């Protein structure tokens, strides 16, 4: 039986420890706050450098990654966009960053997804947390027994759910019996809060939207199998 040398055993132990320690999660919001926000805003106008809202539409990911890693090298290569930016912003060169490829990718994804604007939005309340009172209020809003604060027609003016007698249901829009299963909270909230004919001008508040989602989830959970909804608009 052979024995490993002390140095080899030590190296293996270090390798095991390194593998066992998980990599720290990349937090692009923290990166933006610590490294970017002193010179850039997101949707609030130019600062020392350009406003970064929409930057992922204006520039490719490859260009952004190179620029973030080293604006100096990008300028030295004669990149036309880099040179133009350098001149426009009084030749204030953005400091080179020692971000890892994962951090750069996460930061670009963060900017593409809405950056700090999206991160600052109130967290959407899940319909699964609704009480019986919330469901009841959602039913009233959906059927038009009570009007939304902004006024306008109810969802039931066009749409139907299998909970109500068929003779009382509208047929202009789609059946929303299983809308919650199909869209879930975030997408359904966006659909509900968007005005549509004949609800033009009608905008639901966050709590009204929550109540309607709670009602639709309740209907979905209690509907007979096969009552499929083809669409929500």
Q: What is the pLDDT of residue 129?
A: 95
Contact indicator for 130, 210 with CB cutoff of 8 Å = yes
Q: What is the pLDDT of residue 201?
A: 57
Q: What is the pLDDT of residue 66?
A: 94
Q: Please report, rounded to a whole number, the percentage of residues in the chain having pLDDT higher than 90.
A: 36
The label of the residue with tokens 């490859």 reads 62
pLDDT along the chain (233 residues), means of 10: 37 34 62 90 90 92 94 94 91 88 89 76 85 96 88 83 59 81 83 66 82 95 62 42
Asked, colleague to colleague, whether 28-119 and 127-222 share their fold, the answer is yes
The number of helices, as runs of H, and strands, as runs of E, in the chain is 11, 0
Q: What is the pLDDT of residue 165?
A: 53
d(CA 81, CA 83): 6
- CB-count burial class (<10 Å; 0-12, 13-18, 19+) for 40: buried
**Which CATH topology does 127-222 take?**
Cytochrome Bc1 Complex; Chain D, domain 2 (1.10.760)
3-state SS assignment for residue 175: strand
3-state SS assignment for residue 52: coil
Q: What superfamily does domain 28-119 belong to in CATH?
A: Cytochrome c-like domain (1.10.760.10)
Q: What is the pLDDT of residue 197?
A: 58
d(CA 81, CA 91): 13
Sequence ranges of the domains in the chain: 28-119, 127-222
Return the DSSP state at 157: G
Return the DSSP state at 24: P
d(CA 94, CA 85): 10
Distance of CA 97 to the CA centre of its chain: 26
Contact indicator for 148, 225 with CB cutoff of 8 Å = no
177 C-beta neighbours (distance < 10 Å), count = 22
């Amino acid at each position: 039986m052979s024995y490993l040398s002390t140095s080899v055993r030590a190296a293996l132990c270090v390798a095991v420890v390194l593998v066992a320690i998980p990599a720290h999660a990349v937090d692009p919001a923290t990166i933006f706050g610590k490294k970017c926000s002193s010179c850039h805003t997101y949707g609030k106008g130019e600062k020392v450098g350009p406003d970064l809202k929409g930057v992922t539409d204006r520039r490719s990911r490859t260009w952004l990654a190179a620029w973030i890693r080293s604006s100096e090298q990008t300028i030295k290569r004669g990149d036309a966009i880099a040179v133009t930016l350098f001149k426009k912003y009084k030749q204030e060169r953005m400091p080179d960053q020692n971000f890892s490829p994962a951090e750069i990718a996460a930061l670009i994804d963060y900017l593409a997804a809405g950056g700090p604007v999206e991160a600052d939005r109130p967290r959407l309340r899940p319909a699964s947390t609704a009480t019986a009172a919330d469901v009841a209020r959602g039913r009233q809003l959906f059927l038009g027994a009570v009007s939304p604060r902004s006024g306008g027609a109810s969802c039931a003016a066009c749409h139907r759910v299998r909970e109500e007698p068929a003779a009382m249901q509208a047929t202009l829009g789609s059946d929303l019996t299983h809308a919650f299963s199909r869209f879930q909270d975030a997408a359904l909230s966006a659909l509900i809060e968007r005005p549509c004919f004949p609800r033009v001008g009608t905008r639901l508040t966050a709590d009204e939207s929550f109540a309607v989602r709670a009602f639709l989830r309740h209907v979905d959970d209690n509907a007979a199998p096969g009552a499929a909804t083809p669409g929500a608009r």
